[in-house]
Amino acid sequence: MTELEEKRIWDLRSKGKGYKAIAIELNLPTGTIKSYCTRNKVGSGKCRYCGEPIVQTPGRKPKKYCSEECKTKWWNRNRKIIKHRFIKPKFCEHCGQSFLPIKRPSQKYCSRDCYLDHIRKGENDVRSE
C-alpha cells in the first residue's frame, strides 16, 4: 500500500465512508482496508446518529455515539434492522401490567419496584421459587 493510498484512507474514513466504499474507490480488497484501519486505529470518530465528533478515552472501548441520548435515538430509529431474538410479552406477577422481558426470559416482574413491593407485602417468598 502506498503512502498516497494511506492518506486517502484516512481522508475517506474521516468523511464517514465505510470499508467497502473506500475499497471500491481505491480499487483495493475490502479486507485490506479493514485490517489497515483496525491496526492503525483509523475511525470516523463521529457519532452514528448526529455526526458530532467523539472524544475517545484512551484504553477504553471506542465510542460510537456522542451521548446516551443519541444512542437511544439511533437504536429507536433502527430497531427493525437490528436482529433480536423473538420476545414474548409477559404480565407482571405483582401489578398485572404487560411488559417485555428484555433482561432474561424468566423475568417475572415489570420493574424492580414491583419486585420489592411484592416481597414487602409478603404475598409469598419469591426467593424460594
- pLDDT tens for 53-106 read 787 777 788 788 888 999 888 888 877 666 555 677 889 998 999 888 876 778
The answer on 62 and 2 residing in a single domain is yes
> Three-state SS for 96?
coil
Q: Is residue 116 part of a domain?
A: yes
Residue 44 has pLDDT above 70, yes or no: no
Total tally of structural domains belonging to the chain: 2
Q: Is residue 44 part of a domain?
A: yes
The answer on 56 and 22 residing in a single domain is yes
Stronger pLDDT, 78 or 6, i.e. the higher one: 6
Across residues 39-56, what is the average pLDDT? 77
pTM confidence score: 0.41
pLDDT of residue 45: 72
Task: Provide the residue range defining the domain that includes 61.
Answer: 1-69
Q: Is residue 77 part of a domain?
A: no
Q: Is residue 81 part of a domain?
A: no
Q: Is residue 45 part of a domain?
A: yes
Q: Is residue 122 part of a domain?
A: yes
Percentage with pLDDT > 90 across the chain: 17
The C-alpha cell at 89 is 410479552
Stronger pLDDT, 31 or 43, i.e. the higher one: 31
Contacts of 91 (CB under 8 A, 6+ apart): 97, 98, 99
58 within 8 A of 28, measured Cβ to Cβ: no
pLDDT of residue 128: 47
Q: Is residue 9 part of a domain?
A: yes
